[in-house]
Amino acid sequence: MIRDLHEKLINQEITSEKLTEEYFAKIEKKDPEIGAYLSLNKEFALDKARAADKKIKNGEEVDLLAGIPCAIKDNICIEGLPATAGSKILGNFVSPYDASVISKLKENNSVFLGKTNLDEFAMGSSTENSAYQVTKNPHDTTRVPGGSSGGSAAAVAADECVWALGSDTGGSIRQPASFCGVVGLKPTYGLVSRYGLIAMASSFDQIGPIAKTVEDAAIILTRVAGCDRKDVTTMLAGGRSAFGGKSAGTIYEDRLTGDVDSIKIGVPKEYFAEGGLDKSVKSLVEKAIKKYEKLGAEIVGISLPSGEYALATYYIIMPSEVSSNLARFDGIRYGQSIEKEIEIDENMILRDIYFKSRAKYLGKEVKRRIMLGTYALSAGYYDQYYLKAQKVRALIKKEFEQIFKKVDLILGPTAPTPAFKIGEKTENPLEMYLSDIYTVTANIAGVPAISIPCGNVKIEGKELPVGLQLAGKWFREKELLSTAYAFEKS
């Protein structure tokens, strides 16, 4: 998709300005029903498109992403544009700077159409927790697109952009990619800078691409990956720190051989145990395993015994980090304040403004996670909950290290079900959290993982996509993408 459009731009069969206008026309037609975008940047985008066209016309060499229209999740900062993170508390916030990934994309002359909807502060699995609107699944508008990057996934699936950026804390790129039938990649923790990403849980958060093809995801990753002095957790592609030296880029799209003859793929028995996995999803994933066998991959049965504790571990550590990260949004240091809307009397103290501002402008799910995290970190419970969860996290990571001595990749479903109905799980947070059961382990261990479409199931007359997840070794995105590409092309 990206490469084809690039060739047309270079050959001047189309212009970026015309292409960008076409996508805005699609958004105008489709988005009132889908609700993928929170804000559009028409003049900003057209200026970028004209700049790309000028370079091409002048015969200058341009990047593959130059002039290609994309969408950005609204928790990633672009200078001069809104960054709400899907929350009312940031309803009037305009970013004064670019996220590092945006700076990289601007260097490549990318065209930003707008900012996409998300669950508030990326907290959710359905994009129903946005303070502004509910995004709908393009395949069935009575169903969710997944979350929290539901707006980005829906925009790509509805062809309202060529590609998009999302963020993944516990599956927030991969699960909506699965529900919307697109490709979603969570890179290794530390491969892509988090500078300029509005933090949810800092030890899990990772920015990654959502695209129509594996090759497109690889092209995007090449442009956004790399060491960044503004994020000390970032590393080079090989897992080495680049501080003190020049960051050498890796071109991921050049390694898509599609050859899996020497690849060992592990299939955890726990992923297919009786219980929460939908039978239709199980059937499609089992067909995908057989396809990999035919392609020449060696399928190895493995066990992830500590995986059963992954969701509980994640939902202790993540809210604890949320509690810390969101403390700044109090209406005084950051965010909207209730101060101008109430009568302040002499008995009122600063804490009252904090409490009233947060009570009004933060949503139910955000408050729930702040309270859970504050409780887990409180005196008397820190050792019992948070410290124990960190020990389990270390155990899960060690388990992955041992498994990756035997296999190259781990295969399983991305989500336990196809996209569920809007409103189906909003009253039961625990049921909603189970949507992340297959994705959170990759965030806990910090490994890269990708969701690719592996088929559709027909429900109520609608074809609903199902995603297949592959998780790889740390900083081995080339192997992960090439294996995903082999399935896509078969």
pLDDT of residue 347: 67
pLDDT of residue 343: 63
Backbone angles phi, psi at 340, to 5 degrees: -80, -10
Structural domain spans, the chain: 1-293+412-490
CA dist 161 → 111, 131, 157, 180, 319 (Å): 10, 23, 9, 14, 32
The predicted model scores a pTM of: 0.95
Q: Mind listing the pLDDT tens digit of every residue in the chain (490 residues)? A: 999 999 999 999 999 999 999 999 999 999 999 999 999 999 999 999 999 999 999 999 999 999 999 999 999 999 999 999 999 999 999 999 999 999 999 999 999 999 999 999 999 999 999 999 999 999 999 999 999 999 999 999 999 999 999 999 999 999 999 999 999 999 999 999 999 999 999 999 999 999 999 999 999 999 999 999 999 999 876 666 554 444 456 899 998 988 999 999 999 999 998 678 999 999 999 999 999 999 999 999 999 999 899 999 999 999 999 999 999 998 887 888 876 676 666 667 777 888 888 999 999 999 999 999 999 999 889 999 999 999 999 999 999 999 999 999 999 999 999 999 999 999 898 899 999 999 999 999 999 999 999 999 999 999 999 999 999 999 999 999 999 999 999 9
- Positions marked catalytic: 73, 148, 172
pLDDT of residue 352: 80
pLDDT of residue 356: 85
pLDDT of residue 350: 75
pLDDT of residue 246: 42
Contact of 249 with 226, CB cutoff 8 Å: yes
40 SS3 class: strand
Strand 264-268 and strand 298-302: pairing? parallel
Right CATH for 1-293+412-490 from 3.30.420.280, 3.40.50.300, 3.90.1300.10, 3.90.1150.10: 3.90.1300.10
